[in-house]
Structure 1
Amino acid sequence: MRTYKKRLQTFAVFSVLCVVLFSACVTTPKKENNDQRKAEAHYKLGYAYLTDNRLKKAYVEFQTVLNLEPRNKQALNALGLITSSPGFKEYKEAVKYFNRAISIDPNYSEAMNNLGAAYVNMGKWDEGIKYFRRALKNPVYAEPESAYYNIAYAQYMKGDYAGAVITLKGTISRYPEFPGSYYVLGLVYIKQGKVQDAIDEFNKALKIVPEYAGVLWELANAYLRQGENEEALIHFRKIIDSGSDDERSRKALEYIELLRD
């Protein structure tokens, strides 16, 4: 079974490739090799910063890679991820980086998927879906489940609940171990007033990734809607126990205090 924990987000799914550097031919092989070694070192450092969520430091390292190798598509993709992250939210800049990466490699599905996610974060649902579908046209794309998930999430956000259900059920049949599909299907069912169905889907996601914070939050609130306060309390506590320091955790603590009274 794949490990999906680190790739899951409550909006669109992003992915980063490990370093594979390509250089254009130049007339000074010695300088090329030296620049390539430097670029690889800076990329690895940037990748380490990125995975540790030290985004500003990662940004500097990937920019250094581009100074050495302007056509490094992985560095461009990484810069797009950083600038479209919640800490930056510079989506127009992200779109430029992803498009530059795709111009270098028109079959770069990871960048297409990430470009689609940037458009979704800008509220451009149909534009996002277009790029998710483009990513899926590549038969060797390593993570098609991410693009299918993103299509369904965009459909959900634009209010096309019937379309999202069709996409999600197809994705689940192909990739039953991908928890994000159950999560978004649960969100759709909440919108449709099918609270118990939503609870069932959220629990399926938690069987795969028990600490999936977004699911824990939605499941706790679904139990509240059903009047099952004890179950809601259990899941609010799990959010606190996860150790995450965000708005969701603070709200979970408020609910715990209210439910205790």
Structure 2
Amino acid sequence: MRPRLQTLAAAWAALALLASCAADLETRRIRADAIRKVGEAHMASRDYTSALGEFLKAKDLFPEDPALLNNLGLAYMAKNRLEAAEASFKNALALKPDYAEAWNNLGSAYLAMKKWDAAIAAIGRVTDNLLYATPHYSLANLGWAHYNKKNYAQAVMHYQKALKLAPGFEMALRDLGRTYMAMGKIPQAAAALSKGVRAAPRNAEMAFYLAKALAASGDDEGAARQFDRALRLWPGCPCAPEAQREISRIGKKIR
């Protein structure tokens, strides 16, 4: 009987240990979840350094949370640590292979790294997912990748799909206009960018690219107005020197 009692005692001890470990794991998960939410609040207020610190603390407690790893990747991206972001998104996907948001974010990291083919492959995992809440973003991201590969027809197709889902989506309108400009389709570019200015009247880049389209179409006065608008909306924008040069050129031309 004694060996049998010893076996039973060992089994009960093992069960108690497993129960204790499970309780500890759940406690760590709950604590990590609370810390993650603090990090998300910092992300919402654009305090990316504090967000990163909270996400790393949460990861130390419970590294098996795909949502946490996705958020950690976003914080790394905001800090321009793209390789770390890529690794974090991949870790999230290793835990949850159908995680559409992480696939799109991985694709966004590849866009920032100018790895166009990798971006297309990653984002392509999202576009057919009927449960993904914001497919117009992934479609616009695909458009941008194809634009940079000079696959302009593919870029136009993806921007148009994005706009079918979200007609006033300013990023897609702006970059559709830029794509038409690259194709030499100036009237279509001006039409897309005019719609973009109506949808986003305080977007300086939209006004700037519309000005370029109008200048290319020969509408110098309209172009000058939009260049001036871009400068008033964002005096320190990267496009400011070109806008100022164009205003000066047009002014001399129409005197």
Instruction: Bin the TM-score by the shorter chain.
Output: 0.7 to 0.9
- Matched with 1:175 is 166
In structure 2, relative to structure 1, the CA distance for the partners of 1:163 and 1:60 (3 Å cut) is same
Alignment coverage as a number of residue pairs: 234
**2:103 is aligned with 1:112:** yes
Q: Aligned letter for 1:141? A: Y
Q: Which ranges in structure 2 are unaligned for 5 or more consecutive residues?
A: 1-18
Q: How far apart are 1:97 and its partner, in Å?
A: 0.7
**2:218 is aligned with 1:231:** no
Residue in structure 1 matching 2:40, options 35, 39, 47: 47
Instruction: Please say if residues 135 and 141 of structure 1, whose CA atoms lie closer than 8 Å, have aligned partners that are also in contact.
Output: yes
- Matched with 1:57 is 50
Residue in structure 1 matching 2:86, options 79, 90, 95: 95
- Matched with 2:128 is 137
Q: How many percent of aligned residue pairs carry the same amino acid?
A: 29
- Matched with 2:176 is 185
In structure 2, relative to structure 1, the CA distance for the partners of 1:60 and 1:244 (3 Å cut) is farther
Q: How far apart are 1:199 and its partner, in Å?
A: 1.3
Q: Which has the higher helix share?
A: 2
Residue in structure 2 matching 1:153, options 144, 151, 155: 144
Q: Aligned letter for 1:114? A: N
Q: How far apart are 1:256 and its partner, in Å?
A: 5.5
Choose 1 or 2 for highest CA Rg.
2
Residue in structure 2 matching 1:79, options 68, 72, 89: 72
Distance 1:250 1:44 in 2: 42
Q: How far apart are 1:157 and its partner, in Å?
A: 0.7
Alignment RMSD: 2.9
Q: Aligned letter for 2:175? A: V
Instruction: Please say if residues 83 and 94 of structure 1, whose CA atoms lie closer than 8 Å, have aligned partners that are also in contact.
Output: yes
In structure 2, relative to structure 1, the CA distance for the partners of 1:51 and 1:233 (3 Å cut) is farther
1:32-57 superposed Cα distances (whole Å, 9 cap, x missing partner):
44x45543443333223323333222
Distance 2:236 2:142 in 1: 29
Q: Aligned letter for 2:71? A: A
**2:23 is aligned with 1:29:** yes
Distance 1:44 1:243 in 2: 34
SS at 1:177 equivalent: coil
In structure 2, relative to structure 1, the CA distance for the partners of 1:65 and 1:26 (3 Å cut) is farther
- Matched with 1:5 is none
Residue in structure 2 matching 1:67, options 60, 72, 76: 60
Q: Aligned letter for 1:238? A: R
SS at 1:206 equivalent: helix
1:88-115 superposed Cα distances (whole Å, 9 cap, x missing partner):
2x32221101101111211111110111
Instruction: Please say if residues 215 and 223 of structure 2, whose CA atoms lie closer than 8 Å, have aligned partners that are also in contact.
Output: yes
In structure 2, relative to structure 1, the CA distance for the partners of 1:232 and 1:64 (3 Å cut) is farther
- Matched with 1:4 is none
